[in-house]
Structure 1
Amino acid sequence: MDQEINKIARIMVLKSFVTNGHEISQQRFDSIPVESYNIKRENCVTNSVTSSRLSEGRNLFDKYNIDAYIITADDVHMHPGLSNIAKCDKRLQAVSGFSANFGIAVVTRTSAALWTDGRHFRQAEKETDCGWEIYRKGGPEAVTVTDWITQKLQTIEGEKHVGSAPSYMNAVWWRNFDTVLSPSNIRLLPIDNDLVDQIWTDSRSVRPSKDLNSLDIKYAGRTWQQKVEDVRKEMTKKNVDVLVVTGVDEIAWLFNVRGKDFANKPYFYSFASIDKNSVSLYIIDCKSKLNKVPTDPESKQKLKDHLKTGADGKCTRECVQVMEYDHNQFVLNIASLAEKSTGRVWMSYDCNYKLYSAIPKEKVYQAIPPTLYLKAKKNFIERNGMRNSNLFDSVVIIEFFARLEKEILEGIPWTVHQAAEEAIKVRSRSLSLYRDQSFNTLSGSGHRGADFRYHPSEETDHDITTTEIFNQDSGGQYLDGTSDLTRTFHYGNATEHEKEMYTRVLMAHINLSNLKFPVGQTGNYMNL
Structure 2
Amino acid sequence: MHFMFEAKFQSFADSAAPERGTAHLALLRAELDRRGLDGFVVPRADAHQNEYVPPCDERLAWLTGFTGSAGIALVLRGEAALVVDGRYTIQAAAQTDPAAYTVVQLAHQSAEAWLAAHLPAGARLGYDPWLITVDTLDRLRKAVASADAVLVAVDGNPIDAVWADRPAAPVAPVTLRDPALAGETTESKLARIRDKLAAEKLDAVVLSDPHGVAWTFNIRGGDVSFTPLPLAWAVVPREGRPTLFVDARKLSNAVRDALAAHAEIAEPVMLERALDLVATGNALIRLDQATAPALLASRIEAAGGRVSRGASPVALMQAAKNDAELAGMRAAHLRDGAALVRFLAWFDAEAPKGELTEIDCVAALESFRRDTGLLKDLSFPSIAGAGPNGALPHYRVSEASNRQLNPGELFVIDSGAQYEDGTTDVTRTLPVGEPSDEMRDRYTRVLKGHIAVARAVFPQGTSGAQLDPFARQFLWAAGLDFDHGTGHGVGAYLSVHEGPARISKLGTVPLEAGMVLSDEPGFYKEGGFGIRLENLIVVQPEPTPPGGERTLYSFETITFAPFDRRVIDPVLLTDEEIAWLDDYHAKVRELIGPLVDGPAADWLIEATAPLRG
Q: 1:377-428 CA distances to partner (integer Å, 9 max, x unpaired)?
A: 222222332233224322331232023213444x495443232122222223
Partner of 1:257: 219
- Map of 1:122-137 to 2, 5 A cutoff? 122-130=90-98, 131-137=100-106
| Equivalent in 270, 274, 283 of residue 343 of structure 1 | 283
> Quick check: 377-386 or 447-456, which moved more?
447-456
| Equivalent in 413, 421, 441 of residue 382 of structure 2 | 441
| 2:294 pairs with 1:306 | no
| 2:130 pairs with 1:167 | yes
Q: CA deviation at 1:499?
A: 4.7
In structure 2, how many angstroms separate the alpha carbons of the residues matched to 1:518 and 1:247?
21
In structure 1, how many angstroms separate the alpha carbons of the residues matched to 2:243 and 2:229?
17
> Quick check: 64-73 or 126-135, which moved more?
64-73
Q: 1:57-106 CA distances to partner (integer Å, 9 max, x unpaired)?
A: 22344444433321111111122xx2x21111111112111112211121
| Equivalent in 151, 167, 170 of residue 188 of structure 1 | 151
| Equivalent in 349, 353, 362 of residue 420 of structure 1 | 362
Cα 1:342/1:439, change in 2 over 3 Å: same
Cα 1:152/1:382, change in 2 over 3 Å: same
Cα 1:56/1:457, change in 2 over 3 Å: closer
> Quick check: 414-423 or 166-175, which moved more?
414-423
Q: CA deviation at 1:204?
A: 1.5
In structure 2, how many angstroms separate the alpha carbons of the residues matched to 1:187 and 1:271?
31
Q: 1:97-143 CA distances to partner (integer Å, 9 max, x unpaired)?
A: 111221112111111011111111111011112210111112xxx12
In structure 1, how many angstroms separate the alpha carbons of the residues matched to 2:356 and 2:23?
43
Q: CA deviation at 1:323?
A: 2.2
Cα 1:187/1:86, change in 2 over 3 Å: same
Describe the SS at the equivalent of 2:252.
helix
In structure 2, how many angstroms separate the alpha carbons of the residues matched to 1:421 and 1:464?
15
Partner of 1:235: 197
TM-score (norm 1): 0.77
Q: 1:471-513 CA distances to partner (integer Å, 9 max, x unpaired)?
A: 2111111222211111111131124565566578778954468
Amino acid at match of 1:55: A
| Equivalent in 115, 118, 131 of residue 83 of structure 2 | 115
In structure 1, how many angstroms separate the alpha carbons of the residues matched to 2:59 and 2:207?
24
Identical columns (%)? 25
| 2:244 pairs with 1:281 | yes
Greater relative contact order, per chain length (Cα 8 Å cut-off, separation 6+)? 1
In structure 1, how many angstroms separate the alpha carbons of the residues matched to 2:171 and 2:59?
19
Cα 1:144/1:453, change in 2 over 3 Å: closer
Aligned length, in residue pairs: 447
Partner of 2:162: 199
Contact 1:396 1:427 in 2 (8 A): yes
Contact 1:239 1:343 in 2 (8 A): no
Contact 1:67 1:160 in 2 (8 A): yes
Contact 2:116 2:144 in 1 (8 A): yes
Contact 1:67 1:153 in 2 (8 A): no
In structure 1, how many angstroms separate the alpha carbons of the residues matched to 2:133 and 2:227?
22
Describe the SS at the equivalent of 1:436.
strand
Unmatched segments (≥5 aa) in structure 1: 1-44, 292-301, 310-317
Describe the SS at the equivalent of 2:156.
coil
In structure 2, how many angstroms separate the alpha carbons of the residues matched to 1:197 and 1:175?
25
Contact 2:48 2:209 in 1 (8 A): yes
Partner of 2:585: none
Q: 1:281-317 CA distances to partner (integer Å, 9 max, x unpaired)?
A: 122234x6232xxxxxxxxxx313432x3xxxxxxxx
In structure 2, how many angstroms separate the alpha carbons of the residues matched to 1:466 and 1:118?
30
Q: 1:343-398 CA distances to partner (integer Å, 9 max, x unpaired)?
A: 31121102111111101175212211112121112222223322332243223312
Amino acid at match of 1:383: L
Cα 1:51/1:413, change in 2 over 3 Å: closer
RMSD of aligned alpha carbons: 3.1
| 2:42 pairs with 1:71 | yes
Contact 1:167 1:192 in 2 (8 A): no
Cα 1:457/1:150, change in 2 over 3 Å: closer
In structure 1, how many angstroms separate the alpha carbons of the residues matched to 2:504 and 2:131?
33
Cα 1:197/1:423, change in 2 over 3 Å: same
In structure 1, how many angstroms separate the alpha carbons of the residues matched to 2:31 and 2:417?
45
- Map of 1:363-512 to 2, 5 A cutoff? 363-409=306-352, 411=353, 414-430=356-372, 432=374, 434-456=375-397, 461-496=402-437, 498-499=439-440, 502=443, 509-510=472-473, 511=476
| Equivalent in 72, 87, 109 of residue 104 of structure 1 | 72
| 2:26 pairs with 1:55 | yes
Cα 1:374/1:491, change in 2 over 3 Å: same
Unmatched segments (≥5 aa) in structure 2: 1-15, 450-470, 477-481, 487-502, 510-517, 525-613
Partner of 1:358: 299
Q: 1:265-285 CA distances to partner (integer Å, 9 max, x unpaired)?
A: 111111111122112212223
In structure 2, how many angstroms separate the alpha carbons of the residues matched to 1:183 and 1:262?
38
